[in-house]
A = this chain, B = another copy of it.
């Protein structure tokens, strides 16, 4: 049965050749990222009408404004309403990981890729990480390798998972990316910068800070359970209904939150957000931020790199305060369960999605209406439980500057759990097979929950 109960990393020999390869990638792909004031960002301008920060091609993404109103987190009181900057990117991007079996193990093809917001330059990204602009050539750059495996043009490629998944609801309006996993029988060579890694190896690398990037983690969360079980030599997972609640009840819990909570979203000219005398958002010397320094700032960078489809570009990045995503797990009749919470976020496409047990910024009051998040204390200091995973991960370096999230998975002692009061509203114990069944579909688990599911399935075995 699911062996995530042990806190030890999986038994993978230290791979000297991987570290040497990664060092070499860092050496061979020098790059520099420099801060530039937003109004001096080449190719970008503040739109005269709206004040939105847009690219001169009209594509990629823009920084616009959002007015959100919701009674989520208002504790039964009147809905809260606020304005904020938000990234708008209507185009759906593609994140694809190519798999093949080799020597009895499933391997995935990852890429050491520089993103300007990465705290450490290169991280391991999916085989393909591209906007539709990459496919249609708006970038005017080099073609993206391996795309033919994800466009249906390759007859030997079998799709194992394919869904549109959301990204950070506090920073994006309605953002989602297509997450695709494809298995090939072909002998596909790894181009320079790419490397075939076994899933067990990826699991070990997940335990290193800031190495497996957000896009890889979200795609890996959608891996079919059978494949994970085979790969780890585990028995077949339990069924969807072999759980504390039936799968229908789990679906119903989220539908209920989507019905109960109000969420209205009005995209606003960024100018209105910044000119709002009551609101806290301001243009600063270099970027956009709040009087109180909370949540995030927007800043600009220029990038020079030698290993990207374009060697030189400029772009805005959203720089958030550090965050925490924590998951409580427990076993019910031998079946592992995770405690998810239905959450409404400012930019959520469909009112609510399941997030982790706790999701907050390093100032834990963030987004929770000023109260200390439920279960935070249990996560940070379990009495007699076990910390299964505790690693700092990065959010997407193509949009976010040094966006660091502590990913924490804790299995409390049953005594801890018995002492807890009844579950507050919106919380639901979901079995791991149920969570995996949800992950065949989009907009059920948010990106923080998906990152933790990947850690749970691959890195706690």
In the complex, are the beta carbons of B256 and A152 less than 8 A apart? yes
For window 232-284 of A, CB contacts with B under 8 Å fall at 248-249, 251-252, 255-256, 258-260, 262-264, 266-267
What are 23 A-B pairs with beta-carbon distances under 8 A? A90-B262, A92-B258, A92-B351, A132-B260, A132-B262, A159-B248, A160-B248, A161-B248, A162-B248, A162-B251, A162-B252, A162-B255, A162-B256, A163-B255, A164-B258, A164-B259, A176-B350, A178-B258, A178-B259, A180-B252, A251-B440, A255-B442, A350-B442
Q: Is A251 in contact with B441, judged by CB distance below 8 angstroms?
A: yes
What chain B residues lie within 8 Å of A178 (beta carbons)? 255, 258-259
- For A82-98 the 0/1 string (1 means CB < 8 A from B) is 00000000111010000
Residues from chain B with a CB closer than 8 A to the CB of A152 are 256
Scoring A residues 60 to 102 as 1 if CB is less than 8 Å from chain B, else 0, what string do you get? 0000000000000000000000000000001110100000000
Interface assignment of A349: CB less than 8 Å from any CB of chain B: yes
Task: Kindly report how many copies of this chain are found in the complex they form together.
Answer: 2
- Give the distance to chain B from A256, nearest Cβ to Cβ, in Å: 7
Docked pose: A162 CA to B253 CA in angstroms? 9
CA distance in complex: A350, B264 (Å): 16
Residues of B within 8 A of A252 (CB): 159, 162, 180
Q: Complex Cα distance A443/B166, Å?
A: 15
Q: How far is the CA of A94 from the CA of B180 in the complex (A)?
A: 33
Task: Report which of B132, B176, B180, B249 forms a contact with A159, defined as CB distance below 8 A.
Answer: B249
Chain A interfacial residues counted at CB < 8 A: 36
Please classify the interface of chain A as helix (H, G, I), strand (E, B), loop, or mixed, using the class held by over half of its residues.
mixed
Interchain CA distance A351-B249 in the complex, whole Å: 27
Q: How far is the CB of A163 from the nearest CB of chain B, in Å?
A: 6
Contact indicator per residue, chain A 298-337, by CB within 8 Å of chain B (1) or not (0): 0000000000000000000000000000000000000000
A90 touches B163 (CB 8 A): no
Cα distance A159–B249 when bound, in Å? 7
Closest CB of chain B to A312's CB: distance in Å? 27
Taking CB atoms, residues of chain B closer than 8 Å to A351 are 92, 164
Interface centre among A92, A160, A260 (most CB of B within 10 A): A92
A68 to chain B, nearest CB (A): 11
User: If the complex has contacts A164-B350, A350-B442, A441-B441, are A94 and B259 also in contact, measured as CB distance less than 8 A?
Assistant: yes
Excluding A159-B249, A248-B440, A441-B441, 11 further A-B contacts by CB distance (< 8 Å) are: A90-B262, A132-B259, A132-B262, A160-B248, A164-B259, A178-B255, A251-B440, A266-B267, A349-B350, A350-B350, A350-B443
